[in-house]
Amino acid sequence: MRYSRRLFKIRRFPERSMLDPMLAAAGLQVLSQKRVPRIGAQVPVLVIGRPS
């Protein structure tokens, strides 16, 4: 996570409701979402890609 933050120079990832329109503008979407065990809803892992 810290590497992608450095890459994009953001301190915090946007909320999912704001993320989806940004991805759609780039032709991308969230393909899958998983929750990290023991942390639950605090840290979702998103797979982002182009729809096939």
Is residue 32 classed exposed, middle or buried when 0-12, 13-18 and 19+ CB atoms within 10 A define those classes?
A: exposed
32's tokens = 């899958």
Q: What is the pLDDT of residues 22-45, one digit of tens each?
A: 889 999 999 998 888 876 667 788
Q: Which pLDDT score, from 0 to 100, does residue 36 have?
A: 80
Mean pLDDT of the chain: 78
Would you say the pTM of this structure is higher than 0.85?
Answer: no
Q: Which domain holds residue 31?
A: 15-52
Residue 49 lies in a domain: yes
Residue 33 lies in a domain: yes
Q: How many domains, in total, are found in the chain?
A: 1
Question: Around Cβ 39, how many Cβ atoms within 10 Å?
Answer: 9
pLDDT at 8 > cutoff 90? no
Residue 28 lies in a domain: yes
Total count of residues recorded for the chain:
52
Residue 4 lies in a domain: no
